[in-house]
Amino acid sequence: MTKILVIEDEEDIASFIRRGLTLKGYEVDVAGTGGAGLDAFREQEPDLVVLDLMLPDIDGIQVCERIRAAADVPVIMLTALDSIGKKVEGLAFDELLARIRAALRRKTPKEEHIKVGDLTISPASREVDRAGRQIELTNREYELLEFLARNAGKVVDKRAIFEKVWGYDFEAESDAIKVYVRYLRRKLNGPGETDLIHAIRSVGYMLKA
């Protein structure tokens, strides 16, 4: 669900926006001051910020500059007018909604990276890097590694691995996983590097730095 942070000190306006955006399917959080808004931004990592220019502690322009310095997140500024009536007139909800949708469409999605210690996996390009070293994997090797990485720190049992990576259930005594884990270890572990793949006897495997 798309997360939107509304930084607005007038409760009636903030409630109006929150209610409208929630009904449209967005996850909405509200902060009443610039300082609280910056804290919420750091904690929640929203996809978009709706920001009032006139805030009681930190000027909206400064808040906007700090947000944009920290992340590439769209910021929509609310018209700085005194009364609720004027604000709604200056920026009707339908217009606000249209601007939000347009900003989210323009937003370039960040490429996802999965990190486990010094190992980095880029699912979009299926690239694997360890300590700056590019690692070439076969499709099956990559799928096994990505599945373990998405569950890093957790023990993944053999049946789950077979179902996810091979697409069907193998016999419990099959050596297929063991063989591919051996392939991965040969490619992932350079001289002096620790083994990231841990075998949990009679259960499965865990990827952990």
Q: Where do the domains of the chain lie?
A: 3-106, 114-207
Contacts of 38 (CB under 8 A, 6+ apart): 58, 63, 66, 67
What class is the 114-207 domain? mainly alpha
Q: What is the mean pLDDT of residues 140-162?
A: 92
Residue length of the chain? 209
- Check: pTM over 0.85? Answer yes or no: no
CATH fold for domain 3-106 = Rossmann fold (3.40.50)
Which of residues 91 and 144 earns the better pLDDT score? 144
pLDDT of 83: 45
Report DSSP state, residue 163: I
Burial pattern 59-70, b for ≥16 Cβ within 10 A else e, equals ebeebbeebeee
Which of residues 82 and 140 earns the better pLDDT score? 140
| pLDDT tens digits, one per residue of 8-35 | 998 988 998 999 899 888 999 999 999 9
Which residues does residue 76 pair with via DSSP β-bridges, in sequence order? 50
- Is pLDDT at 147 greater than 90 in this prediction? yes
Q: What is the mean pLDDT of residues 183-207?
A: 92
The Cα–Cα gap between 105 and 71 comes to 17
pLDDT of 81: 45
